[in-house]
Amino acid sequence: MAAATQASLLLHKQLKDLCKNPVDGFSAGLVDDSNIFEWSVTIIGPPDTLYDGGYFNAIMSFPSNYPNSPPTVRFVSEMWHPNVYPDGRVCISILHAPGEDPNGYELASERWTPVHTVESIVLSIISMLSSPNDESPANIEAAKEWRDRRDEFKKKVSRIVRRSQEML
């Protein structure tokens, strides 16, 4: 119980900080005011990238032992990206449990550490949108298309961006 209280206090502080000092590129708030462990995040497609101008919604779900364990992040908006599973879950190193990678792809230093904040997580996701990593993809089809049929990939992302703008 103490861990959940500690997590709750930390999340309240991070939410307050983000409300007081918004960060360019995204906005964040609670899905439901009664649950500090579920956040709604809107990421604005980074300028000069394929996702430029898009508005992408995601849900961040925090474990009760946050910040000792990472949250999960799942796009609820349509997303086509090598590092986003078909169900919308984001796959980046800092969201992987701390310690050694059982698959040997990542260094322990690249994985989750309790110093990460909502801001650093979302900025990492924005960076991921800017430069996909097709070496260890979450979405194999998107990674293949990114590598072999870049024009098709661009068209698909362009449609997703347009649809995200129409949802506003």
Residue of 18, 43, 90, 91 marked catalytic? 91
Q: How far apart, in whole angstroms, are the C-alpha atoms of residue 113 and residue 98?
A: 6
Nearest 5°: CA angle at 131, between 128 and 132?
75
Q: Which CATH class is domain 2-166?
A: alpha beta
Do 90 and 83 form a contact (C-beta atoms < 8 A)? Answer: yes
What's the rounded mean pLDDT across residues 127-156?
A: 95
- Kindly list the distances between the CA atom of residue 111 and the CA atoms of 82, 86, 102, in Å, as whole numbers in the listed order: 19, 22, 12
Predicted pLDDT at 67: 96
- Average pLDDT taken over every residue of the chain: 94
Write down the domain spans for the chain: 2-166
What's the rounded mean pLDDT across residues 94-108?
A: 86
Closest CA to 51 of 76, 74, 25: 25
- Reply yes or no on whether the pLDDT at 54 is more than 80: yes
Which residues pair with residue 27 across a beta bridge?
Answer: 42
What's the rounded mean pLDDT across residues 40-59?
A: 97
Structure tokens, 48: 């000069």
The verdict on whether 91 is a catalytic residue reads: yes
The separation between CA 97 and the C-alpha centre of its own chain, rounded to angstroms, equals 15
Predicted pLDDT at 1: 62
- pTM: predicted TM-score of the whole model, two decimal places: 0.93
- Reply yes or no on whether the pLDDT at 50 is more than 70: yes
